[in-house]
């Protein structure tokens, strides 16, 4: 049933995207042809990885994607087998990750008016580290003893907030540095 609901949500999303009017002019074609795409890609990569500010941001993003993929791969068996969480607890933690992402993206305007993208990025990365540490340390007890699902759900929600804040701050930071 959950997979069916998920499939219907994708169908609704696809229909909504298909009927959304787009007023986006087509880019001008380059006279250089198809090989220019490869050349432009190479030039863009060279520019980003030589930029003193964007290079660490890009490399940090690569590491984040790698380790987030690892977490995403092992989280479900970890929660079910190691923590004995059960389907409902697992569902709650995953739901709160989504809610956290929504909260984080909703806070972006408010945070962006008060803090620089660098501060938001640093703070969100620290929140992510705390969230990952709590998830990894869950079998050890301590903070999560006797109430693994609710506390872990809270921290997975915090991870969701941090992840969306990082994505938005990094995007703003890249846009602010695109003319350098």
The 8-class DSSP code of residue 140 comes to G
Place of tokens 């804040």: 165
**Contacts of residue 110, Cβ cutoff 8 Å, sequence gap at least 6:** none
pLDDT value at position 164? Answer: 73
The angle formed by the CA atoms of residues 62, 175 and 61, to the nearest 5 degrees, is 10
Tens-digit pLDDT string for the chain (180 aa): 778 888 888 899 889 888 887 777 776 766 655 567 788 889 989 988 998 888 888 888 888 888 888 888 888 898 888 888 888 888 888 888 888 878 877 777 787 788 877 787 788 888 878 777 777 777 766 544 445 566 666 677 777 777 777 776 666 666 666 554
> What would the pLDDT profile of 84-112 be if each residue is shown by its tens digit?
888 888 888 888 888 887 887 777 778 77
pTM of the predicted structure, to 2 decimals: 0.61
* Strand stretches in the chain, DSSP E: none
Residue 128 neighbours by CB under 8 Å, 6+ apart: 64, 159, 162, 163, 166
The answer to whether the beta carbons of residues 125 and 162 sit under 8 Å apart is yes
Q: Report the mean per-residue pLDDT for the chain.
A: 77
Tokens at residue 55, please? 């290079």
Domain boundaries along the sequence of the chain:
60-180
Residue 115: φ, ψ to 5°: -130, 155
| C-alpha dihedral sign at 161, 162, 166, 167 | negative
| Cβ proximity of 48 and 58 under 8 Å | yes
């Amino acid at each position: 049933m959950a997979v069916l609901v998920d499939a219907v949500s994708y169908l609704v999303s696809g229909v909504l995207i298909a009927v959304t009017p787009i007023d986006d002019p087509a880019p001008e074609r380059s006279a250089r042809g198809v090989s220019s795409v490869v050349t432009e890609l190479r030039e863009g990569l060279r520019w980003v990885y030589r930029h003193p500010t964007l290079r660490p941001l890009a490399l940090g993003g690569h590491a984040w994607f790698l380790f987030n993929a690892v977490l995403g791969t092992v989280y479900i068996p970890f929660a079910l087998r190691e923590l004995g969480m059960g389907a409902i607890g697992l569902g709650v933690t995953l739901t709160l990750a989504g809610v956290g992402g929504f909260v984080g993206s909703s806070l972006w305007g408010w945070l962006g008016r008060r803090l620089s993208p660098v501060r938001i990025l640093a703070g969100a990365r620290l929140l992510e580290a705390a969230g990952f540490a709590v998830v990894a340390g869950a079998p050890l007890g301590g903070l999560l003893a006797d109430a693994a699902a609710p506390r872990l759900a809270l921290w997975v929600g915090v991870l969701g907030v941090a992840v969306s804040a990082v994505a938005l701050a990094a995007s703003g930071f890249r846009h602010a540095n695109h003319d350098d």
